[in-house]
Amino acid sequence: MPSHICPVLGRSSYIDDIAHGVKTWDQLCEDLNTLLYHLRYWNISVSLPKSEFGKRPIPYRSHDISAEGIRATPKVAKGVMDLPFPKYHKGVLSFLGSLNYYHKFIEDFPVVAAVLYDFLEDRIRQGRDLSRAHESFELLKMKIVRLQCRDIRTSKSHL
């Protein structure tokens, strides 16, 4: 037995989520069999009532993960589409900040977001034309809802 394992013998381990995707049902069954064998080997129990196998898509942290990629759940998508245009510059910056993670997956993000970054409170107070800012805001909302990340590690998938 490897020496680095000894300090943890007799202790309980807990794994919250194991998500794994394959192209065929047969491959899923084979991989699941291998996983269960290793869990049994290391004496890690599985709660069958809490387990789901062969599920498509998998809900995880407000996203649906499937063979096609990762996208926002319908509830999150509706919430994004229902967002009103911010009344203050701080609200615009908050919206843009919430897109930080996704910006690398949204094609032309810097170009579309530039209009909102230039959005100044003076423009609101002076009643200037905000149609370009509104248009950029709606376009970013649509892009984030329609976003489907195919490979998060390489971020080569764009909308």
Q: With 80 as the cut, is the pLDDT of residue 9 above it?
A: no
The mean pLDDT value of the chain amounts to 79
Q: For residue range 60-78, what is the model confidence (pLDDT) as tens digits?
A: 777 888 777 778 788 888 8
Task: Give the global pTM.
Answer: 0.58
Residue 76 to residue 103: CA distance in whole angstroms:
17
Burial 86-115 (b: 16+ CB within 10 A, else e): beeeeebeebbeebeebeebbeebeebbeb
Confidence (pLDDT) at 155? 45
Q: Average the pLDDT over 76-94 and give the result.
A: 87
